[in-house]
Structure 1
Amino acid sequence: MSFEFQYIYFIWLATAVLLFLFLFSVVKRWKRRTIKRIGEPALVKSMIRGYSPVRFNFKFFLLCIAFLMGVLSVMSLRKPGGDDGIKRSGIDVVFALDLSKSMLAQDVKPSRLLLAKQFIGKLMDAMPDNRIGLVWFAGKAFIQMPISADHGSAQMYVDDASPDVVPVKGTVIGDALEQSLKAFGEREAKYKAVILISDGEDHDEKAMEISKEMASRGLMVNTVGIGSPEGTFIPDDSTGGNKLDPATGKPVISKLNEKELQQIAANSHGVYIHLTDINAAIKTINNQLAQIDKKVSGDVSLMSFSYYFWIFATIMALCLVAEQLLPDGRKIKKEE
């Protein structure tokens, strides 16, 4: 690909040179009229014998060149780097994992949480070029790891994930999506993805609103449902039995809420997967993320460029230094 100016619209600044030329001509006419008013030609010649019109014109020329070089520097000449202009590898993906107590249910083997962790581990292995971020959530959400290329650290965090990390009860998917946005840091959300893994047990209107907002910013949310629609009991480690409803004293049954997870994915042009076969789920997710890869490859905003504004900036500096060092007048020979 050829050279281009990043900010071509600054070219209009170059028209200021026309104003400089006009002012320069006004000064030249004023000088001529002043000389004529003085009168005696011999006297005038003696008075201005140290003045050099050529140097005066040349110094003005240097200033004009310096200004034009400054404009070109601001316009930022650049050229896409690499063979195809793109120096990038993979995309940014945030995993948002539900760590609520309901994820301990065993309607899938070995449990909802352990199956989710196996899925994340294998999916990270299948996307070695992608940068990874982690968000844990239950009754509140927080960033466990911002976007990073360190898959080893990400895997350690995943291995250690448990409901004890987020002791607040509940499933705040809306907050998890908000934290996922923050996990990308100051980077633009465009062409990035969130993979939200949950049983979606609690209905969250906020999640619906945020998923639509994320879609408008070019971010895709893929959702993965863990568990069964029929549901099952939630183990209670403190009693060794099943979790009981405080109001009724009956065992709590946790069911997969597919409808909410499907809607979140649909709102952000993502895909919903009911996780039963890890390998099939990974294939589906990777096919979905491949759509983002294609968009990234064609987006000039994500290309890596070599910049050459420094060439014009250097010429501008040399012109300004030369203008300052060049004397206004010429040497006057001493009369014998």
Structure 2
Amino acid sequence: MFENIEFAHPQFFWLLLLLPVALLWYFLKRKQEVASLKISSTGGFQVNSILPRLKPVLFILRLLALSGIIVAMARPQTEEISTRTKTTRGIDIVMAIDVSSSMLARDLKPNRLSALKEVAADFIEQRPNDRIGLVVYAGESYTKTPITSDKNIVLSALKDITYGELTDGTAIGMGLATSVNRLKESKSISKVIILLTDGVNNSGFIEPQTAADLAIEFDIKTYTIGLGTNGNALSPIAYNEDGSFRYGMRQVEIDEELLQDIANTTGGKYFRATDNEKLEAIYEEINKLEKTEIEEFKYYRYEEKFRPWVLIAGALLLLEWLLRISVFRSFI
């Protein structure tokens, strides 16, 4: 009966404590309410009616009616809550991804590029209120996807990223500059670049520091990620006759000093991912650092349920009154 019911004034239930007191008072005073006649013998009387014994029913009806009134005073009601969210501070994010041949190294499973794509997809799905774009770079760079709020487009483009789209090399400055170009016209309050690489800047005609200065000019924060294990990693070292890569152990070289400098000067942070778990943890941390402010509005609709209790109490009192002036009239 009270499923999904709340009470606006539950303090009125304390009045229910009066019911056992009233019940006790009734039984103590019951004999005093009935007139008595003392005679020597009742042999001449025959009492066949059970109505006198049913007289307490009238008091029970009153107690039930009083209980109904108390429940009605407590105001039972159902509550429906609807919510509407409004993004008050959206973030525009560009993910700059290194797609050079070294990203096929197998120190991350199954390789660096595949591991990154899996983690980056999870990151994108956790940013439903932000616009995200993709920039890929190797010996040069280009925009894979402009910043958009359509996550299906971004996820599809991310899935399609493969090695061989660009000439080989690592043009960190080009990748960063292209990302800045994607964000410089953005009206978003917060603009972020997540730049990932596994090597040293060795290509391109834009110096990384020049690109970092551009990011500072347009108030774009840059998080940098160095991807690769410490020491040697199983990496592509040459081509086989069929065009596939031949793998061998190669020293992992990441210009961490450059990545730290880019992050520090733009107000971001540098991370080092040496395995799949650390890469995932890095994106989770960035996700926490860059939170979109969302304003939530709640609308409450109450449906009052006290009226049936008032009607029940009224019906019980009416029934008690009718019985009192009719059936039990001769015994009151």
Give the TM-score normalised by the residue count of structure 2: 0.55
Structure 1 residues 255, 155: CA separation in 2 closer, same or farther (over 3 Å shift)? same
Q: Distance in 2 between matches of 1:103 and 1:155?
A: 19
Classify the secondary structure of the residue corresponding to 2:271: strand
1:217 aligns with 2:218: yes
Which residue does the alignment assign to 1:328?
Answer: none
Structure 1 residues 241, 145: CA separation in 2 closer, same or farther (over 3 Å shift)? closer
Query: How many residues are paired up?
Result: 202
Classify the secondary structure of the residue corresponding to 1:234: strand
Contact 2:95 2:193 (8 Å CA) reproduced: yes
Counterpart of 1:270 (choices 259, 262, 268) is 268
Which residue does the alignment assign to 2:144?
Answer: 144
Q: Distance in 2 between matches of 1:105 and 1:123?
A: 22
Return the structure number with greater strand share: 2
Cα deviation, 1:145-188, whole Å, max 9, x if unaligned, reads 1110111111111111111111x121111111111122236325
Structure 1 residues 175, 152: CA separation in 2 closer, same or farther (over 3 Å shift)? same
Q: Distance in 2 between matches of 1:258 and 1:87?
A: 36
Which residue does the alignment assign to 1:114?
Answer: 114
Contact 1:102 1:254 (8 Å CA) reproduced: no
Contact 2:92 2:186 (8 Å CA) reproduced: no
- RMSD over aligned CA atoms reads 2.8
Q: Distance in 1 between matches of 2:90 and 2:189?
A: 14
Which residue does the alignment assign to 2:246?
Answer: 242
Deviation at 1:283, TM superposition (A): 2.7
Q: How does 1:264-303 map to 2 (within 5 A)?
A: 264-275=262-273, 276=275, 277=277, 278-290=279-291, 293=292
Structure 1 residues 87, 255: CA separation in 2 closer, same or farther (over 3 Å shift)? closer
Structure 1 or 2, whichever has the larger Rg, is: 2
Deviation at 1:234, TM superposition (A): 2.1
Return the structure number with greater helix share: 1
Structure 1 residues 92, 229: CA separation in 2 closer, same or farther (over 3 Å shift)? same
Deviation at 1:289, TM superposition (A): 1.4
Q: How does 1:47-86 map to 2 (within 5 A)?
A: none
Q: Distance in 2 between matches of 1:87 and 1:189?
A: 12
Gaps in structure 2 of 5+ consecutive residues: 1-85, 296-332
Q: Which moved more, 1:234-243 or 1:143-152?
A: 234-243
Q: How does 1:1-336 map to 2 (within 5 A)?
A: 88=88, 90-166=90-166, 168-184=167-183, 186-188=185-187, 191-202=190-201, 206-235=207-236, 238-239=239-240, 242=246, 253-275=251-273, 276=275, 277=277, 278-290=279-291, 293=292
Deviation at 1:195, TM superposition (A): 0.5
Percent identity of paired positions between Structure 1 and Structure 2: 27
Q: Distance in 1 between matches of 2:236 and 2:245?
A: 6
Classify the secondary structure of the residue corresponding to 1:170: coil
Contact 2:92 2:188 (8 Å CA) reproduced: no
